[in-house]
Amino acid sequence: MPDLNSDSTGLEREPAAAATLFGERLDLARAFTASLAEQGEERGLIGPLELPRLWTRHILNSAIAAPLFHGSVADVGSGAGLPGIVLAIARPDVEWTLIEPMERRVAWLDEQVAALGLSNVTVVRGRAEEVGLSARFDVVTARAVSALRTLLPWTAPLVRNGGELALLKGANAENEITAAQKQIRKFLLSDVRVETLGEGVLDETTRVLRATVRG
């Protein structure tokens, strides 16, 4: 029998929550999702099993965090544009810097920024610890990049004094906090906690590890 949750290409059908999360910018989200579905596997951006859950697990999983961001934000290891491109669509009032070391992924990000007309996005090629950006961002985010104890040396130095980390994490987030106590102290993090977003809105909730950085 055909999968009623997917279209003829295997892409997951757009969930109703997409209209709520993207509002008048839904068409941009649709365009990005369609491009990722069409080119993502071929260009090594997503795995071969992701199409039937692309909206739920990746697009909306990123978009639900949009209200957490303000001012200037860096997305470390932006990759396919998750969450950076998705969040830039949802929050055109925020300035986004997408940091990505791999040339082919940087090319993808540049193409999407141009195609979608995202004037609030800058793409920077390099590793976060090497690109020479100062601690000037109001918020720094990352999604599915690394465990917290490895991620903190890459992200915390980019946050201005009093700014925030808002890292999209998996089910193991609380354990990652326990394992990263040394790094949490070293980078002067406070109010470290995990927040669950999307309950009652999304089929799969999003966990965000948040902390204030006192540099």
Q: How far apart are CA 178 and CA 176, in angstroms?
A: 5
Residue among 12, 8, 19, 158 nearest 75 (CA): 158
CATH number at residue 89: 3.40.50.150
Does 129 show up as a binding residue in the annotation?
A: yes
Domain, as residue range, for 139: 68-213
| Residue 6 in this model has a pLDDT that exceeds 90 | no
Residue 162 lies in a domain: yes
**Is 143 among the annotated ligand-binding positions?**
yes
- Short-list 52, 113, 110, 102, CA closest to 79: 102
pTM: 0.93
Q: Averaged over 84-102, what is the pLDDT?
A: 98
* Mean per-residue pLDDT of the chain: 94
- pLDDT surpasses 70 at 151: yes
43, part of any domain: no
Q: Does 77 carry a binding-site annotation?
A: yes
Say if 117 falls within a structural domain: yes
Strands 137-141, 121-125: pairing is unpaired
- The answer to whether residue 56 is domain-embedded is no
Summarize pLDDT for 154-207 with one digit per residue, the tens: 999 999 999 999 999 999 999 999 999 999 999 999 999 999 999 999 999 999
For residue 141, being part of any structural domain is answered with yes
**Rounded Cα gap, residues 212 and 83, in angstroms:** 20
Number of domains forming the structure of the chain: 1
